[in-house]
Amino acid sequence: MHLTKSGMETMDRRQRLNIINSITGIKPANLIGTKSEEHGSNLAIFNSIVHLGSNPGFIGLILRPIGEVPRHSYENMKANDGYYTINHIHNHFIKQAHYTSAKVEKGTSEFDVCKLTEEYLFDFPAPFVGESQVKLGMRLVEEIPIKSNGTILLVGSIEHLIVPDESVNEKGYIDLEQLNIVGIGGLNCYYDLTKIGEFPYVRLSEMPEL
């Protein structure tokens, strides 16, 4: 298959959406937990999480355009001093996680609809997912509009990081395979993660023959 920009613009909308969402490869699968005093908790699946920095720990999240379609996660963040959670998805609850994308009415919690556990830890004001073993308590610190398509890059600071001790090695690497973390291809295909190699930090003076 070879598609040009003009060819993509004239193809079936759903097919174009699926191809472009799949072409970047496997993406992280996460649930974003939020809460507001007025409307209660919200849980939504996102595949647009990206590492932005380690010191301080910053994580980015792409938010789709704000307009006619309500963005309950974003609204709750703004109503709760920017607090939210990021929760990894494991293979034993991918079905429940996937259906958090349903467009439920504001005030109806996807935790309840999708039978996932709303968990509060360390007096953090946003809900974690009880079924997830890797959880981040986040606070929104910056919003960067992407003018060309109306999306927004939300920059969050890691306030809490929760991961099982036995899954972290002496170097600080997290064994994602051991934890049965899943990834997303496109919008609705889920993949297991399998570790296939590990290599040292690259220094030009230590380059092997390739």
Question: What span, in angstroms and rounded, lies between the C-alpha atoms of 15 and 191?
Answer: 21
Task: Give the pLDDT of residue 199.
Answer: 86
- DSSP letters along 17-67, please? HHHHHHTT--EE-EEEEEEETTTEEEEEEES-EEEEEETTEEEEEEEPPPS
pLDDT band at 68 (very low <50, low <70, confident <90, very high): low
β-bridge partners, 174? 168
Task: Give the pLDDT of residue 164.
Answer: 94
**Tens-digit pLDDT profile for residues 126-146:** 999 999 999 999 999 999 999
Question: What span, in angstroms and rounded, lies between the C-alpha atoms of 154 and 139?
Answer: 10
All domains of the chain in start order, with CATH: 25-206 (2.30.110.10)
Average pLDDT of the chain is: 91
Q: Average pLDDT in the 50-76 region?
A: 87
For residue 51, pLDDT beyond 70: yes
Q: Which two tokens stand for residue 32?
A: 């974003």
Pairwise pLDDT comparison (29 vs 105), residue with the higher score: 29
Task: Give the pLDDT of residue 113.
Answer: 93
Task: Give the pLDDT of residue 125.
Answer: 96
**Tens-digit pLDDT profile for residues 14-49:** 888 888 888 888 999 999 999 998 889 999 999 999
Q: What percent of the chain has pLDDT over 90?
A: 64
Task: Give the pLDDT of residue 69.
Answer: 63
Q: Average pLDDT in the 180-196 region?
A: 91
Pairwise pLDDT comparison (59 vs 22), residue with the higher score: 59
**pTM: predicted TM-score of the whole model, two decimal places:** 0.91
For residue 11, pLDDT beyond 80: yes
